[in-house]
Amino acid sequence: MRAVLGGVVLVLLFVLVRSSKIFDGSLVGISPIVFGYGALFAAGIVTSELFRPLLAALAPSSRFVMVALMAGLVWFAIEQARLAGTIPDAVLGLNRPSASAGGSQPPPSTRIPVAWDGVYRAVAQVNKTSLGVVIDTATPLVILQYEEAERLGFEPQKQEFTTRLTVSDRKINAALYLLSSVRLDGIELFGVKGAIAQKGALQTSLIGLSFLNRLSAFGLANGQMVLRQ
C-alpha cells in the first residue's frame, strides 16, 4: 500500500509540474546544481518511505548507503531523460532565454550551464526532433551520432564516411549533410552544415562552429555557455 501511495504522489507531482504556471516564470530559473540536490533529497525521502520495511532490517550505515544509492539513481535517471529530450528543459526552468528589457524585444539567447561531467550539455531540435547534444567550440560542424541520425530519419548506412573531421583531440570519419534546421532553446537556424559520424565514433551528438559562428555572439560567462542569435 505504501508503494502504491508513493507512486500516486509522484504522478500527481509530475502532472502539477507540467501544468503549473510557476514554471513559466523566473522562480525555477535556478542553478541545475541546486535543482539536482533538491531532486536528490526528494528522491531519498520517497525511497525511504517506499522501502521502509526493508531498510528497517539493515544496519544504520547500510541503510544510509542504500538510500543514497537509490536516490542517486533516481536523480541520474531524471538528468539522462532531460538530456535525451524526454523531459523538456522548459519544465525544469533551464536554458531560459534572457528577459526583455525596456519593452524592446532582444534577440533570442540562451544560457547553458555546465553539466556534471564538465561539458555543456543541452537538448537541441535537429530537423524538429529533440536529441541530447554537447556544445563543442572545437568541432567544425553539427555532427550527429550515428544512432541518433537513424532516429532522426537519416539513412547513414547508405553513406560513405570519407570526410575526416577533427573532434576535440582526435579525428573521425563522417558523411556530410545539410541540416534543414537546428534549434537550441529560442535560437533556431536553417540550412546548417552538418555531418553524421561513422558508427561508434561518437557517443553524443555535437553542436559545432557551423551553428555557433552564425550567432551574433557566444562564449563563457559565470561558468555558463551564453549563446545569442
* Within-domain flag for 47: yes
Provide the domain count of the chain.
2
**pLDDT score at 83:** 55
* Within-domain flag for 143: yes
**pLDDT score at 52:** 72
Residue 33 near residue 79 (C-beta atoms within 8 A): no
Q: Please check whether residues 63 and 117 belong to one and the same domain.
A: no
Which pTM does this prediction carry?
0.55
Q: Please check whether residues 120 and 190 belong to one and the same domain.
A: yes
* Within-domain flag for 96: no
Closest CA to 136 of 98, 92, 170, 173: 170
Average pLDDT, stretch 174-188?
Answer: 91
- Domain around 10: 2-90
CA 45 – CA 62 distance, rounded (Å): 16
pLDDT for 206 beyond 80: yes
**pLDDT score at 186:** 86
**pLDDT score at 93:** 45
Residue 13: pLDDT band by 50, 70, 90 thresholds?
low
* Within-domain flag for 104: no
Higher pLDDT, residue 205 or 97: 205
Q: Please check whether residues 115 and 61 belong to one and the same domain.
A: no
Q: Please check whether residues 117 and 86 belong to one and the same domain.
A: no
